[in-house]
Amino acid sequence: MTETILQFDGVSKSFFGVHALHDVTFSLPKGHLLGLIGENGAGKTTLMNILGGVLRPDGGAMRLRGRDYGPRNPAEATEAGVAFIHQELNLFTNLGIADNLFIDRFPRLGRSPFIDKPVAKAQARKLLESLNLPLSPDTLVDRLTPGERQLVEIAKALSTGAEIILFDEPTTSLTAGDTERLFRIIQDLRRQGKSIIYISHNLGNVLELADEIVVLRDGRVVDQGPREGFTVDKMISRMVGRDISQIFPSRQSAPADETLLEVRGLSQPGIVKDIDLTLHKTEVLGLFGLMGSGRTELARILFGLEPFERGQIVMDGVACDGVSVRDSIRRGMAFVTENRREEGLLMEATIADNLGLVALPAFASPSPVRLVRARRLREAVARVAESMRIKNGPVDRTPAKNLSGGNQQKVVIGKWLLSKPSVFIMDEPTRGIDVGAKYEVYSLINDLAAQGTGILLISSELDELMGMCDRIVVMSKGEVQGAFDRSEFDRERILHAAFKGHRAHQRGARR
Amino acid sequence: MGRRFVRRGLLSENFVLYLSIVFFAILYLFMPYIASGRNLANLSSNLWPLLALVLGQMFVLILGGIDLSQTSIMALTSVVGGMLMTTQLDPTLFEKSPLWGILLSPQGSPISGTALAVPLGILAMLAAGMFVGLLNGLAVAKGRMPAFMVTLVSMMFFSGLAIYLTKSENIMYLPGGFTMLGAGEIGPVPYSFFVVLVLAAVAQVVLKHTVLGRWFFAVGKSIRTSVVSGVPTERVVILGYVFSGFCAAVASILYSARLACGRPTLGQNLLLDVIGAAVIGGISLFGGKGKVLWAFFGALFFVLLSNALSMLALPFYAEPVVKGAVILLAALLDVTRTRLLAREIVA
């Protein structure tokens, strides 16, 4: 019987009369890793904000090491030994590692206001060593990879003497190698007796790491228990509250012979090299690669956002050796970028304005003044919103920033539907959205393919590609390393191809 | 009931208009002269050219940019127009001008005195304004330089150029057909009103009802998303600065006609009035927000404020202090209002 370090006891919280959390009760045993899962809006964030002193509960109580615990602000939570590793890292990229670690409590020379730099550096070095991060404490955070930044955050948590460490979606921006390293460190921390709460949409990871799993749905704990009692399928059905017989909806079409897009010998020095690629009608073609493999860069070149030096992009049988975004759109191409906030959406604009943005010229009068035919546009936008079931609020008043991640992504995809694309490139279309929304995005991809669109699907989740694609092309170091038909999908072989040239991914210290 | 009334006024789209009316009413209590026909005419003759500038500035602000060069465009176009139209130049003043003997003579320019002088002069002014705007736009859109820097440089450069061309002398003896634009009236309504009305109508149609207008807002909200979505962002940005230059030229025509001279220092103190009026009207400095009506309200408030201050006959150092204080107050009211609006949406 292990000792309980943290106990939630009937914790409740409402916003404007709506229950965000309802009678949440569970406990975290010391030295255990608890996986907390739930769809967006299930209450995970609210719960963690209460734990971290950002919000105060309306009812119920928390107990930490057997004593009442009710932090009134984040500083009190830190004081009590609760640390957060956030999804969006909270580091000052313009400062060095040591400065970041001690930003709020620099060791000082006696009582003077001057920083004792040697001591700060020595302490920082020790922390970095304990995490096997061979970097100088002076290294600017700006120069670190996302994985290294994460470790700096962990070092920061450890330096505050944290006993409970909370990870919120820690792997979203990590490469496979960095993720592996992070998991090893999490295991180490657990062995050292730290207690961990791990929040993630990546259910496979949760299942791999957790001792216990707690499932939240609509602000309530709907299931909890030891890991052994869970499978990914069960986790999903508990989270969504209905049975999803499959994670991936079944395809209704097979690739046709007709070629929509052909890439021949595409090269851009330092980015991609000699890429050959063929996308057929009604095909879902997967593009797999680790971060930095050139998959996103290739997509951006195809769409005309970045230049290329050699090679050809052939669409509808017309070759061209230089394209602009507007050419690509005119030729029937659509592109969902990997970062929907920066490049996918006008966050401040309404759903309707976002949905209408791409197809706007098609709704203009033929006169040179190009008056917008507002009513026709409004109707078309309403049809898209309706068919995609974009919920929350009236489309002509709700700004995109108020939507959940899943609905935002649906808007990004939806804005291309009015232009009826024949080739649709989607870069990480399900990143950071919950299981239910993922299923909807997958269904949409299948529907589009069934209507004849060729889809180039880029993802760092291999399961997703294996579940969705007719064919997977693997990239590494800017080159195509292999292509696999659905019948020959094999995790090992695909990963092997993706790691080609990456064997030395445990880089030594950079000097 | 009183509170609700205040609240509704605060939250209204027309808040700045109400503010102007209240301000005017209070001023009227202390200085009834403010409502006299002469002062109202004065107010209106100040309002319309300023509104022309604010309209142009608004297009650039919606893009998330700023145009600091509007005042130098006014000075330059005033000089260009003056040179082309004047019928008499004093050689002792102008023989040092670099254009003396080339374009300028004691009888003005080669087209001076002809029937074409006024229309060509006006066209040249508009073209010069648009040309400077084009340079600004190209530097921002193609050169990827920050709008602040670009237009700061062109502010310095073109106001310097205007002074260089005239050796700092005002160009007098402009033809009556031109000065009439500044002084002429139809009944109590000055010509400048009709000119700016047309400008405002064009701005309204473009912003609200055309593809281009929607692109302006899209670029201002996120230029990266606009690029990916196939918006011709460079063209849109360039057009914004060209329109701003055009509006500055229109303002220059109205001011120059009223002053009956081409003045190389025209508009020197106007820049902050323009940007202040735009911001008080509710046009965001961060881009993506703006309306023709807001530009009008902002300009109205600013003109009222300046008028009141000059009538108070404050010592010269006190005027900017009071002006600043009133702007601060307006900004404070605006923040309160935004906060109330946000709460309104949540509730």
Ordered DSSP codes for A383-426: HHHHHTT--SS-TTTSBGGGS-HHHHHHHHHHHHHTT--SEEEE
Grade residue A504 by pLDDT with cuts at 50, 70 and 90: very low
Gyration radius (Cα) of chain B, Å:
21
Best CA proximity match to A422, nearest among A286, A336, A358, A330: A330
Quick one: tokens of A64?
A: 């930490």
Distance CA B75, CA A160 (A): 62
Strand, helix or coil for residue A147: helix
Segments in chain B below pLDDT 50? 346-347
Q: Residue A329: its pLDDT value, please?
A: 93
Interface of A with B in 271-300 (CB under 8 A): none
Q: Residue A43: its pLDDT value, please?
A: 84
In degrees, to the nearest 5, what angle opens at C-alpha A169 toward C-alphas A165 and A175?
110
Q: Residue B41: its pLDDT value, please?
A: 87
Grade residue A509 by pLDDT with cuts at 50, 70 and 90: very low
**Chain A nearest CA to B209, separation (Å):** 5
CB contact, 8 Å: B235 with chain A? Answer: no
Q: Is A275 left (phi over 0), alpha (psi -120 to 50) or beta?
A: beta
Is B1 exposed, middle or buried, given 0-12, 13-18 or 19+ CB atoms closer than 10 A?
A: exposed
Q: Residue B141: its pLDDT value, please?
A: 96
Across the interface, do B214 and A360 touch by the CB < 8 Å criterion? yes
Contact list in B for residue A337 (CB cut-off 8 A) is: 228
Q: Length of chain A, please? A: 511
CB contact, 8 Å: B201 with chain A? Answer: no
A-B C-beta contacts closer than 8 Å: 73
CB B215 within 8 A of CB B232: yes
Across the interface, do B218 and A343 touch by the CB < 8 Å criterion? no
Distance CA B60, CA B42 (A): 29
pLDDT higher than threshold 80 for residue A393: no
CB B136 within 8 A of CB B150: yes
Across the interface, do A370 and B210 touch by the CB < 8 Å criterion? yes
CB contact, 8 Å: A335 with chain B? Answer: yes
pLDDT higher than threshold 50 for residue A440: yes
Distance CA B141, CA B227 (A): 12
Contact list in A for residue B213 (CB cut-off 8 A) is: 372
Name which of A34-38, A80-84, A245-249 the model is least confident about.
A245-249
- Residue identified by tokens 């940005």 is B237
Grade residue A87 by pLDDT with cuts at 50, 70 and 90: low
pTM, two decimals, is 0.81
Residue B119 one-letter amino acid: P
Across the interface, do A346 and B346 touch by the CB < 8 Å criterion? no
**Chain A nearest CA to B237, separation (Å):** 16
**Chain B nearest CA to A439, separation (Å):** 25
- Report the first-to-last Cα separation within chain A, whole angstroms: 48
**Chain A nearest CA to B226, separation (Å):** 8
Q: What is the pLDDT of residues A291-316, one digit of tens each?
A: 778 999 999 999 999 999 999 999 98
Distance CA A66, CA A68 (A): 7
Residues whose CB is less than 8 angstroms from the CB of residue A311 and which lie 6 or more positions away in sequence, other chains included: A263, A264, A265, A266, A267, A274, A275, A321
Distance CA A476, CA A288 (A): 9
CB contact, 8 Å: B114 with chain A? Answer: no
Strand, helix or coil for residue A262: strand
Q: What is the pLDDT of residues A17-43, one digit of tens each?
A: 677 888 999 999 999 999 999 877 788
Across the interface, do A372 and B211 touch by the CB < 8 Å criterion? yes
Contact list in A for residue B224 (CB cut-off 8 A) is: 342-343
DSSP code for B32: G
Distance CA B246, CA B53 (A): 9
DSSP code for A365: -
The CA distances from residue A489 to A205, A279, A310, A445, A473, in Å, are 21, 18, 31, 20, 11
Contact list in A for residue B214 (CB cut-off 8 A) is: 353, 356-357, 360, 372
Q: Strands (DSSP E) along chain B, which ranges? A: 185-186, 189-190
Interface of A with B in 18-77 (CB under 8 A): none
In degrees, to the nearest 5, what angle opens at C-alpha A238 toward C-alphas A195 and A440?
115
- Residue identified by tokens 């990229």 is A93
Quick one: tokens of A235?
A: 């986790």
Mutate to test the interface with A, among B225, B233, B235, B239 (most CBs of A within 10 A): B225
Q: Residue B264: its pLDDT value, please?
A: 95
**Chain A nearest CA to B203, separation (Å):** 12
CB A142 within 8 A of CB A162: no
Starting at the edge strand that comes first in sequence, how are the strands of the sheet with A4-15 ordered?
A: A18-29, A4-15, A59-64, A67-69
Contact list in A for residue B288 (CB cut-off 8 A) is: 346, 348-349
CB B270 within 8 A of CB B320: no
Distance CA B180, CA B7 (A): 45
The CA distances from residue B160 to A63, B73, B203, in Å, are 72, 11, 30
Distance CA B5, CA B15 (A): 12
For residue A372, what is the nearest residue in chain B, using CA coordinates? B210
Q: What is the pLDDT of residues A107-127, one digit of tens each?
A: 888 888 888 888 889 989 998
Distance CA B227, CA B219 (A): 8
Residue A298 CA, distance from chain mean position: 20
Q: Residue A508: its pLDDT value, please?
A: 36
Best CA proximity match to A427, nearest among A247, A243, A291: A291
Distance CA A233, CA A435 (A): 11
For the CA atoms of B58, B62, B63, B68, the dihedral, rounded to the nearest 10 degrees, stands at 30
**Which is higher by pLDDT, B183 or A243?**
B183
SS3 string, B280-304, reads: HHCCCCCCCCCCHHHHHHHHHHHHH
CB contact, 8 Å: A337 with chain B? Answer: yes
Quick one: tokens of A251?
A: 């395809």
Q: Residue B16: its pLDDT value, please?
A: 84
- Residue identified by tokens 């300009």 is B299
Best CA proximity match to A232, nearest among A254, A217, A210: A210
**Which is higher by pLDDT, A321 or A436?**
A436
B140: phi then psi, degrees, rounded to nearest 5: -75, -45
Residues whose CB is less than 8 angstroms from the CB of residue A65 and which lie 6 or more positions away in sequence, other chains included: A5
Across the interface, do A370 and B212 touch by the CB < 8 Å criterion? yes
Quick one: tokens of B120?
A: 């060509």
CB A418 within 8 A of CB A334: no
Q: Residue A404: its pLDDT value, please?
A: 81
CB contact, 8 Å: B66 with chain A? Answer: no
Distance CA A64, CA A5 (A): 6
pLDDT higher than threshold 60 for residue A416: yes
Across the interface, do B215 and A415 touch by the CB < 8 Å criterion? no
Residues whose CB is less than 8 angstroms from the CB of residue B255 and which lie 6 or more positions away in sequence, other chains included: B49, B74, B78, B182, B266, B267
CB A500 within 8 A of CB A476: yes
Contact list in A for residue B218 (CB cut-off 8 A) is: 346, 349, 353, 357
In degrees, to the nearest 5, what angle opens at C-alpha A63 toward C-alphas A58 and A66?
155
pLDDT higher than threshold 50 for residue A484: yes
Quick one: tokens of A453?
A: 């669109």
Query: Can you tell me the mean pLDDT for A52-63?
Result: 90
CB contact, 8 Å: B1 with chain A? Answer: no
Across the interface, do A346 and B211 touch by the CB < 8 Å criterion? no
For the CA atoms of A170, A172, A175, A180, the dihedral, rounded to the nearest 10 degrees, stands at 40
Across the interface, do B210 and A348 touch by the CB < 8 Å criterion? no
Across the interface, do A372 and B209 touch by the CB < 8 Å criterion? yes
Contact list in A for residue B344 (CB cut-off 8 A) is: none
CB A488 within 8 A of CB A467: no
**Which is higher by pLDDT, A208 or B3?**
A208
